[in-house]
Amino acid sequence: MDLFEKRAFAMALSLLLVFLGLIVYAAKGLQTDLPTCLPPETARQFRKDVGSVVEIGPNRYQVNVVAFMWGFNMGTVNELRVPRGAVVDFYVTSRDVMHGYHIERTPVNLMAIPGAVTYARHKFDEPGEYMIICHEYCGLGHQNMAGKIIVE
Amino acid sequence: MQAVQVRGAVRFIILSELVIPFLLLILGVALGLYQVLARAGILRTPDFLGINYYQGLTLHGVINAVVFTTFFAVAFGNALMLHQLQRPLRTGVQWVSWVLMVGGTLMAAWAMLTGRATVLYTFYLPMVAHWTFYVGAALLLVGSLVPFFFDWLPSVVAWRRENPNARLPLAVLGILITFTLWFLIFLPLATTVVFQMIPLSLGLIKETNVLLSRTLFWFFGHALVYFWLLPSYIMLYVMLPKVAGGKLYSDPAARFAFLLFLFFSIPVGLHHQYTEGGLSAGWKLWHAFLTFMVALPSFITAFTVAASLEHSGRVNGGRGLFGWMAKLPYWDVRGDKWLFPYFIAGLILFLAGGITGIVNASYNLNLIVHNTAWVVGHFHTTVGGLVTLSFLGMTLYLLTKLRGVDLKAKPLAMAAPYLWMVGFLIFEVALSITGLQGVPRRSNLGISYLDPNNELLYRPDWLFWSHVGALGGVIAVLGFVSYMVSFFGTLFAKPVRQPAVEFPIAEAIHDQPTPFVLNLRPWVVATLLLIAVSYTYPLYEAVARGTLANVPGYQSIGNNLVPMQALGEQTRLPQ
């Protein structure tokens, strides 16, 4: 390799490592991490409680979502109301085929896979309506599979 | 290197491996047009010409991304081996491969066209398609590996024996790496197809492990994009500098890039599974790291290609820091220089695709764009950009050589890649914006979110950029139509010379033999080790820790998906 190639290589590598450093900082420092593999006992518990909202602390909620063709059961089907400023833990699985669970304007963006449980946490500071969109193909009714979260 | 005369069966086989997938591609592109119009709310129907939206989406993905690319890679490999090693192809082996690939494609096409395999290009379980879809896809892949094992490798061994001191030609190394990669990723796909999908589709078993199937699919599915990309890179390194009028900047750098692709490109599949449960975040981060590393050979390529183009521009009389850019053959009707637009338009699209791709790979940043229209914009500038354009350009080029004709409707053939580029740049910008707005990929928006009569779902705030996306799609299709005119004109033109295979092959400026890029074996061993390290634990989680129970497969009966058995006590979820 000549000098220019070495420089280009070093610059590319440093750029990628800087990006990677920022990702790790965002994940571990700012706590914007991805869902991990839950201990099987914990995951099994959530699967038993699917379709429910549990208040686990002052303005903190755990929502156990089960997706199905074609809706989301979160205690009530396709609708969830939480107070402003609520911190909500979403645990998501599916009862039949694969589905998606994306709450617009938030980083809650999950895959509902039958047989596995995934999760995300979000604090709802802005009141309003947030659409929950199924973004994984799940049969001919897929395009109509959507719910909403109303932050009051 | 001299042109190699071709006739008879070999000529027919290579020609048909270019023409058959192109005929299917016309259907794939037509369905793509329906999809952009439906996704802009312009067409508000569940079907188009009797084909359901999702059935069409399956056809669009499977034809454009699997059938067209696989056939092309085999045809291109055949022609390159023939020319670069100056050895005849083995007709028997080629016929076996041809029958498997064409037969498999027809089987899968039948299943998709009759609505028995509306499972999308990713064919995720637990949705189960008709068995002919899986068997057909498997035959296509097996057929594509036959020439590699039984024709090209023996020829390379024989060539080595005859030329003990010569370096393997760069293009041959590129093809060998492409198909080594193809074989390595074929194994996990074959595992889920043979042990999970086919038994389910035949009704031999009723339940399946979805997470395992996904993990095996993406073990294959992301490295697949490098199987698409590497033939394009061969063209960029070996042919583009010659077409541009100059030389390749560095031969060892090119070899190094190919080997890095082999090493890093397979253990990256978890980046398609960032947001699902059952897999450890630590291993997702490891795959994110390796995905960033696989950007390295693309950066090397960007440097080498830019340096080669600068050299070409200066040879053509360009001066100054940027003056050489004006001296490239953007529109040159002499000889085979019409190929240049295909490469340069593809490269410009790939720049956009590379940047959006780094966003997708970025672990937590992916949460913003996962499964939104953003991703669709990304892969239409990568596989739909550089890959498609270079494949289409090379298809047309080989057509002229194999038929011994001159290119017909040359201005249309040269305008096509530019129209395609403008169209998909618009498309990429529009879909990136709608993706950030939350527009889902895959959905038929025309009968839901963008249908003003749908009171529950209607989203007027998504309309504007979705329309811009449709405009981009329509411009790209105009490019494809002008390509088609030239393609069929050339296909039916009167021969004016003997059919022969030849390629524009560039010399290299820096060409000193560099030992560590000359021996393939240690790279293959290192690759296998890295795959084993990166996939052992995720596969253990998919089988034993992250999956709570197997779940029933779902078969489509009429308009419904029906579980293959009543839920057993063990898998029942309280409702």
What is the bridge-based pairing of β-strands A109-112 and B51-52? unpaired
- Separation between Cα atoms, residue B517 and residue B502, nearest integer Å: 26
Residue pairs between chains A and B whose CB atoms are closer than 8 Å: 221
| Phi-psi category of residue A89: left, alpha or beta, with phi > 0 → left and psi -120 to 50 → alpha | beta
Q: Which of B294, B214, B215, B310 is nearest to B258 (CA)?
A: B294
pLDDT beyond 90 at B560: no
In DSSP terms, A68 is beta-bridged to A71
d(CA A99, CA B521): 43
At residue B482, the pLDDT reads: 97
8 Å CB contact of A97 and B296? no
The confidence band for B568, taking pLDDT boundaries of 50, 70 and 90, is very low
In this predicted model, which residue has the larger pLDDT, B72 or B510?
B72
| Cβ–Cβ below 8 Å for B276 and A113 | yes
What is the torsion angle, in degrees rounded to the nearest 10, for the CA atoms of residue B383, residue B386, residue B389 and residue B393? -130
For residues B300 and B274, the answer to whether their CB atoms sit within 8 Å is no
CA distances from B517 to B168, B253, B254 (A): 11, 9, 9
Q: What is the pLDDT of residues B9-43, one digit of tens each?
A: 999 999 999 999 999 999 999 999 999 999 999 99
Q: Is B423:B389 a contact under the CB 8 Å cutoff?
A: no
Which residue from A minimizes the CA distance to B444? A143
Of B271, B378, B391, B418, catalytic:
B378
B287 is catalytic: no
Predicted confidence (pLDDT) at residue B319 exceeds the cutoff of 70: yes
pLDDT above 90: residue B506 = yes
CA gap B432, B412 in Å, rounded = 30
* Spatial distance between the Cα atoms of B183 and B315, rounded to a whole number of angstroms: 41
Q: Which residue of B277, B304, B441 is in closest CB contact with A116?
A: B277
A86-99: pLDDT as tens digits: 999 999 999 999 99
The yes-or-no answer on residue B314 being catalytic is no
Q: Is the pLDDT of residue A48 over 80?
A: no
Query: Higher-confidence residue: A49 or B526?
Result: B526
Instruction: Look up the ipTM and state it.
Output: 0.95
pLDDT score at B515: 76
- Identify the band that residue A5 occupies on the pLDDT scale cut at 50, 70 and 90: confident
Cβ-count burial of B142 within 10 angstroms (0-12 exposed, 13-18 middle, 19+ buried)? middle
Question: 3-state DSSP call for residue B420?
Answer: helix
Interface test with A, best of B443, B509, B512 (most A CBs within 10 A): B443
Mean pLDDT is lowest, of A23-27, B459-463, B547-551, for B547-551
A118: three-class secondary structure by DSSP:
strand
Catalytic member of B48, B68, B441, B503: B441
Give the per-residue pLDDT at B569.
41
Distances (CA, A) of B43 to B37, B40, B232: 6, 8, 35
Q: Which residue of A has its CA nearest to B359?
A: A19
> Which CATH code, of 3.90.700.10, 3.40.250.10, 2.60.40.420, 3.10.20.30, is assigned to A47-151?
2.60.40.420
CB contact under 8 A, A69 and B364: no
Token pair 């060998």 in the structure block, residue: B176
Percentage of chain B lying above the pLDDT 90 cut: 86
B272 is catalytic: no
Which residues fall within 8 angstroms of residue A79, CB to CB, at 6 or more apart? A147, A148, A149, A150
Per-residue pLDDT tens digits for A95-127: 999 999 999 999 999 999 998 999 999 999 999
Rounded to 5 degrees, what are φ and ψ at B509?
-75, -55
Chain A nearest-CA distance from B462, in A, is: 12
Which DSSP letter does residue B83 get? Answer: H
Please determine, for residue B73, whether its predicted confidence score (pLDDT) is greater than 50.
Answer: yes
Q: Which residue of A has its CA nearest to B548?
A: A115
d(CA B308, CA B156): 28
Q: Do B275 and A47 touch (CB under 8 A)?
A: no
Of the residues B90, B442, B459, B510, only one is catalytic, namely B442
pLDDT digits (tens, 9 = 90+) for B210-250: 999 999 999 999 999 999 999 999 999 999 999 999 999 99
- Report CB contact under 8 Å: B210, A116: yes
pLDDT at A47: 76
Min Cα–Cα distance to chain A from B52, Å: 9
Asked if residue B84 has pLDDT above 60, the reply is yes
Can you give the pLDDT at residue B210? 94
Nearest CA in chain B to A93: B277
- pLDDT tens for each residue of B270-302: 999 999 999 999 999 999 999 999 999 999 999
User: Is residue A51 pLDDT above 90, yes or no?
Assistant: no
List the single residue in A27, A107, A113 with the smallest CB-CB distance to B211.
A113
CB B510 to CB A2 under 8 A?
yes
Residue B394 pLDDT: 97
d(C-alpha A34, C-alpha B514), whole Å: 42
Euclidean distance between CA atoms B428 and B419, whole angstroms:
14
Express each pLDDT in B121-153 by its tens digit.
888 889 999 999 999 999 999 999 999 999 999
Q: What is the largest CA-CA distance in chain A?
A: 65
Residue B442 and residue A43: Cβ atoms within 8 Å?
no
State residue B524 phi and psi, 5-degree precision: -65, -40
Which residue on chain A is closest to B563 by alpha carbon? A96
Neighbouring-strand partners of residue A61 = A55, A88
Say which residues have a Cβ less than 8 Å from residue B541's Cβ, sequence separation at least 6.
A37, B278, B279, B280, B283, B547
For B451, the token pair is 């249908």
Q: How would you class B384 by CB atoms within 10 Å of its CB: exposed for 0-12, middle for 13-18, buried for 19 or more?
A: buried
Please report the pLDDT score of residue B575 as a whole number: 35
Is residue B572 very low, low, confident or very high in pLDDT (cuts 50, 70, 90)? very low
pLDDT category, A1, cuts 50, 70, 90? confident
Q: Which two tokens stand for residue A113?
A: 């896979």
Percentage above 70 pLDDT, chain B: 98
**Per-residue confidence band for B551, with pLDDT thresholds at 50, 70 and 90:** confident
pLDDT at B533: 96
| B289, B296, B546 member nearest A13 (Cβ) | B296
Whether the predicted pLDDT of B177 surpasses 50: yes
CA distances from A84 to A129, A149, B26, B49, B365 (A): 11, 11, 52, 48, 25
Q: Is B226 part of the annotated catalytic residue set?
A: yes
Whether residue B570 is predicted with pLDDT greater than 50 in this model: the reply is: no
- What residues does each domain of chain B span? 368-499
Confidence at residue B111, expressed as pLDDT on a 0 to 100 scale: 94
Retrieve residue B275's tokens: 């947001």
Contact call for B575 and A20, based on CB within 8 A: no
Question: How does the average pLDDT of chain B come out, rounded?
Answer: 93
In angstroms, rounded to a whole number, what is the distance separating the alpha carbons of residues A100 and B433?
A: 20
C-alpha closest to that of B105 among B151, B138, B56, B148: B138
Q: How many CA atoms lie within 13 A of A3 on its CB side?
A: 0
pLDDT digits (tens, 9 = 90+) for B431-466: 999 999 999 999 999 999 999 999 999 999 999 999
CB A34 within 8 Å of CB B363:
yes
The question of whether B255 is a catalytic residue gets the answer no
Question: Of B53, B123, B226, B480, which is the active-site residue?
Answer: B226
Kindly indicate the confidence band of residue A43, based on its pLDDT and cuts at 50, 70 and 90. confident
Residue B102 above 80 pLDDT? yes
Quick: pLDDT tens for B455-502: 999 999 999 999 999 999 999 999 999 999 999 999 999 999 999 999
pLDDT at B567 over 80: no
Rounded mean pLDDT, A31-54: 85
